[in-house]
Amino acid sequence: MLKGKHIILGVTGSIAAYKAATLTRLLVKEGASVKVVMTPLAKEFITPLTMATLSKSPIMVDFYNPENGDWNSHVDLGLWADLYLIAPASANTIGKMAGGIADNLLLTTYLSAKCPVMVAPAMDLDMYKHPATQRNLKVLQSFGNIIIEPESGELASGLVGKGRMEEPERIVSFITAYFASQVDFKGKKVVVTAGPTYEKIDPVRFIGNYSSGKMGLAIAEELAGRGAEVVLVCGPVNLKTHHPAIRRVDVESAAQMYEVTSREFANSDVAVLSAAVADFTPKEKADHKIKRGKDDLVLELLPTKDIAAELGKMKNASQLLVGFALETNDEEVNALSKMQRKNLDMIVLNSLNDKGAGFGVDTNKVTIMDKAGNRTVYELKTKLEVAKDIVDQIASRL
């Protein structure tokens, strides 16, 4: 199941380090290439010789290997890996990861990794329950790291509670399921719109909105990570894309966004319209800066092209069209009406009345509805987590 996958296994100073031996053996058995990075303290719990034998690869602990004169490059490791699994992850290492501390090879590799990161905590129950540890785990999740929850049971201290590292067999099952889910969009082309549009008044002024583009870019990254060919039609935002499967087209106005989106949708499987597109644009656009005068300035506005409605007319039976609704009142009624009027298959609703949702923040709280009458309400999550929920819903309808 993991044939051809490159996995870095990070082992920290925890009594659960003995489980890393079984974990390594199982990963190799599944076909993965495994490189093990250990903290200096981890060597007190399990020997590098054991891990080297099972992984069939030299163990890395220090930046410099005096035996052969080679440097262990954390940058090269970060580029090599398809997954960085830190198991067991001690409270100490989790705290350093959350704080960006890089005082050993395991941590510098973490900061350099461009692949998904999974963290399997292992510690005593009071350490795990401590507010600092819980805060640090939430910080890691906000980075997009995946936490493999520990089990409840008898701990090394003799106490009984949550803190035992998940069993190696279950971790491997989790990893195989994760990689299987990452290709569920293979062969699919998806158009995603993101960010605001700017409608020029004159060379220095425009009509716009507060959209940061964070939600749309998170959706694009999630889709690309799961095998899709993604065309991201992006309004003016200060965010970068990372996945090589994303082809980004930057636009400014609603007219430009419509032109690109409608052209790309013609041969796409899915469109996700998360951009906050201006509803109106100035009828006249001054070619010079408008000066202040004594009289009132009156702008005549014309409606912009309704991208969702136009794509709804274009859509064929095999295509899926997903819209967004940001509402301030009568949220569900307005969202359902929008879905029906514009021939959408699914709509993602969020409300400015929900704290932590909307523009400019890293979290969102959504309700997803479809034309079949299904309705799923989600709690407040990071936008990375919300992106996964939205893409999961799309996948279930393809």
- Chain segment 251-294, per-residue pLDDT in tens: 999 999 999 999 999 999 999 999 999 999 999 999 999 998 87
CATH 1.10.10.60 assigned to domain 6-181? The reply is no
pLDDT confidence of 197, banded at 50, 70, 90?
very high
Domain 6-181 shares a fold with domain 189-397: yes
68: pLDDT strictly greater than 70: no
Residue 163 is predicted with a pLDDT of 81
- Residue 275 has a pLDDT of 96
- CA distance linking residue 9 with residue 316, whole number of Å: 46
pLDDT of 192 over the 90 cut: yes
Q: Spell out the domain ranges in the chain.
A: 6-181, 189-397
What mean pLDDT comes out for the span 178-206? Answer: 92
pLDDT at 32 over 80: yes
Rounded average pLDDT over 168-183: 87
Contact by Cβ (8 Å): 341, 306: no
CA within 13 Å, CB half, 396:
10
189 is an annotated ligand-binding site residue = no
Q: Annotated binding residue at 63?
A: no
> What's the half-sphere exposure (Cβ side, CA atoms, 13 Å) at 52?
8
pLDDT at 154: 79
The pLDDT assigned to 389 comes to 93
Report CA-CA distances (Å) from 328 to 89, 261, 352, 365, 386: 43, 27, 6, 14, 20
Pairwise pLDDT comparison (305 vs 4), residue with the higher score? 305
Q: Write out the catalytic residue numbers.
A: 209
Residues 127, 91: Cα–Cα separation, whole Å: 7
As a CATH number, domain 189-397 is: 3.40.50.10300
Answer yes or no: is pLDDT of 206 > 90.
yes
Q: Is 279 annotated as a binding residue?
A: yes
pLDDT of residue 341: 96
**pTM beyond 0.75, yes or no:** no
Amino acid occupying residue 31: G
Cα dihedral across residues 173, 110, 52, 17: positive or negative: negative
pLDDT in tens, 121-150: 999 888 999 999 999 999 999 998 999 999
Residues 174-189 have a mean pLDDT of 86
Structure tokens at 186: 């293979």
Per-residue pLDDT tens over the stretch 217-261: 999 988 988 889 999 999 999 988 878 789 999 999 999 999 999
Once rounded to an integer, what is the mean pLDDT over residues 325-341? 91
Q: Is position 185 annotated in a ligand binding site?
A: no
Residue 188: pLDDT over 80: yes
pLDDT at residue number 78? 80
- The annotation status of 305 as a binding-site residue, yes or no, is no
The whole-angstrom separation of Cα 277 and Cα 254 is 6
Judged against a pLDDT cut of 70, whether residue 360 lies above it is answered with: no
pLDDT value at residue 220: 95
